[in-house]
Structure 1
């Protein structure tokens, strides 16, 4: 009994619990800070009441946090949403309701994605489709509907402004998921490439610069040229997969949102609801194109590598099992036996 008591150290157990609680508190604080900072950035393009914007980065950050660290991070999201909205008003009860909607939306999106077996690598077509339709377009209906309804019920908005405001709110929350979440997930797995040829770097720079240039021209021209951005997204997806496509989507979406807020190019002469329809269609198209193509190319590359590895293992097994004379009659292109294995039998 004395040996067992000696093995158990109450002080060490309390210290371990304290470290876990401290680490959890620091994670929650980091989530709150990230939510607040990204919200301040998103509010630079507000269109309604100084608090409804067509790009709301906190939704993407909140969803990624839940995907990586689990539901235990919801207090950080809730606290961040409350701190942001309490400064925007209109009063404490509507603020609490809006913060609740901002918290529930990414939680519901997370639950839906987990139910369908979503993988954060975004290396399958089903993962890209799930992020678009369940995580962004579906999950963000909660925050947009609840938030707009609360503003109307508190008389902060007129009833006739419900749908225009709802469209901006839904667009912003959905774009936060479609634009920010893939970028963060790609950055999480990206590694600094070593020995990359100079031409490869030049291609990446040309891709990012070309995307920005074409997006500026397309969103500020009176001629309908928005489709010119799509070839650059296809280029990025084929050559760099998600690591290259996600930054291109961010660049194109931010430029389009800025043009929509200013009423430039294809957004001129339209009311707020029509602008949001055009903007949502454009941003949804570029995000869907980039995500789907990146997922398909990544999936094909992985399948090809698996086939090559299986062929190599099969060839090695045949070398070990068959007599050497069997392979001596094979053409050199079919042998493929490593030099160190020639003339040896297992």
Structure 2
């Protein structure tokens, strides 16, 4: 009897620990969602709760890709904490919360269905993140949320499509610029054996991106194209680990400029500013994601070819033992010389 009671107590304690760990994870998800929402609301453009960049969608999708579908209660809890104080009515708040929860969950299910890899090391991963994770999945939150505002009387019928477009593109941009950064941070490790010039380059790249973006978004002359060389530099040299943070820097500074009505985004209507802003942000995010994925996939293919060449060289050496064995450097592909 004592042994049975002891085993029961051990199982109960193990269950409590697991439940406690799960509760802590969900609380962390909710806290991250809430913090991202408070940051996003600083740049609201429509009725105090529709922004051109909504970080919680990117945070929610990254949490789902990391923790699995069990993260959805934390997303819902964070959405309630954000929308309850600013929502027009309790039914509208519930609808908005449902849409904000369902959108990243559906994006996650779509990405898992097509075999998405969180490393984003293939071109297909970048494409499905853009078209399924961002553009398709966020249709749910934008449609449900804008309809809730319209039915509650908080939004005029004539402003529906403007609010919907801001909501949809803001949620999509959250996925495009926030999710890759969080996926990079998840796999980040302290650099080892990295030379000083490489470290200097890693520091100069985001600083240069920020400086050029500030100039491009604060002057009346259209100089937005100047940011693209820095994004290409980041993708070529550091792949997603460099391109994702630089894309986030560009997007945040461009959104801030639009909210303040300065630079190339000034002297236009809300709809015109949103079209210009989101076309620019979408172009920078696509450049960063697609190019970094292409470079990563190319590098992986090259390493695979080198391994195959080395194996073939070993086979040839065993078949012709009288021939001198080629040095290691000669067995590599010409691209490595």
TM-score interval, normalised by the smaller of the two chains: over 0.9
Distance in 1 between residues matched to 2:85 and 2:242, nearest whole Å: 36
The match for 1:207 is: 205
Query: Which structure 2 residues correspond to residues 145-164 of structure 1 after superposition, within 5 A?
Result: 145-164=143-162
Q: In 2, are the aligned partners of 1:163 and 1:273 still within 8 Å (CA)?
A: no
Corresponding residue to 1:44 among 25, 38, 42: 42
Distance in 2 between residues matched to 1:7 and 1:28, nearest whole Å: 31
Distance in 1 between residues matched to 2:267 and 2:306, nearest whole Å: 56
Distance in 2 between residues matched to 1:332 and 1:174, nearest whole Å: 51
The match for 2:33 is: 35
**Is the radius of gyration larger for structure 1 or structure 2?**
1
Q: Deviations over 1:100-127 (max 9, x none)?
A: 0000110111111111110000000000
Distance in 2 between residues matched to 1:331 and 1:35, nearest whole Å: 57
Corresponding residue to 2:231 among 230, 233, 239: 233
Distance in 2 between residues matched to 1:279 and 1:334, nearest whole Å: 49
Distance in 2 between residues matched to 1:21 and 1:38, nearest whole Å: 26
Corresponding residue to 2:110 among 81, 100, 112: 112
Q: In 2, are the aligned partners of 1:233 and 1:289 still within 8 Å (CA)?
A: yes
- State the Cα distance separating 1:152 from its structure 2 match: 1.1
- State the Cα distance separating 1:332 from its structure 2 match: 6.7
What secondary structure does 2:83 align onto?
A: helix
- State the Cα distance separating 1:164 from its structure 2 match: 1.7
What secondary structure does 2:239 align onto?
A: helix
What secondary structure does 2:197 align onto?
A: helix
Distance in 1 between residues matched to 2:81 and 2:97, nearest whole Å: 9
TM-score, normalised to structure 1, is 0.91
Distance in 1 between residues matched to 2:307 and 2:238, nearest whole Å: 22
Distance in 2 between residues matched to 1:217 and 1:335, nearest whole Å: 48
Corresponding residue to 1:179 among 177, 198, 214: 177
Query: Which structure 2 residues correspond to residues 1-346 of structure 1 after superposition, within 5 A?
Result: 9-319=7-317, 321-325=318-322, 327-328=323-324
Greater mean deviation of Cα atoms: 147-156 or 9-18: 9-18
The match for 2:335 is: none
The 3 A distance-change label for structure 1 pair 336 and 271 is: closer
- State the Cα distance separating 1:6 from its structure 2 match: 6.3
| Structure 1 segments unaligned to the other structure (5+ residues) | 338-346
Q: In 1, are the aligned partners of 2:50 and 2:167 still within 8 Å (CA)?
A: yes
Distance in 2 between residues matched to 1:165 and 1:334, nearest whole Å: 60
What secondary structure does 1:82 align onto?
A: helix
The 3 A distance-change label for structure 1 pair 7 and 79 is: closer
Distance in 2 between residues matched to 1:84 and 1:114, nearest whole Å: 28
Distance in 2 between residues matched to 1:186 and 1:282, nearest whole Å: 23
| Structure 2 segments unaligned to the other structure (5+ residues) | 333-337
- State the Cα distance separating 1:167 from its structure 2 match: 1.8
Greater mean deviation of Cα atoms: 207-216 or 293-302: 207-216
RMSD, aligned α-carbons? 2.0
Distance in 2 between residues matched to 1:335 and 1:145, nearest whole Å: 59
What secondary structure does 1:9 align onto?
A: helix
Distance in 1 between residues matched to 2:184 and 2:103, nearest whole Å: 22
The 3 A distance-change label for structure 1 pair 126 and 336 is: closer
Distance in 2 between residues matched to 1:102 and 1:323, nearest whole Å: 66
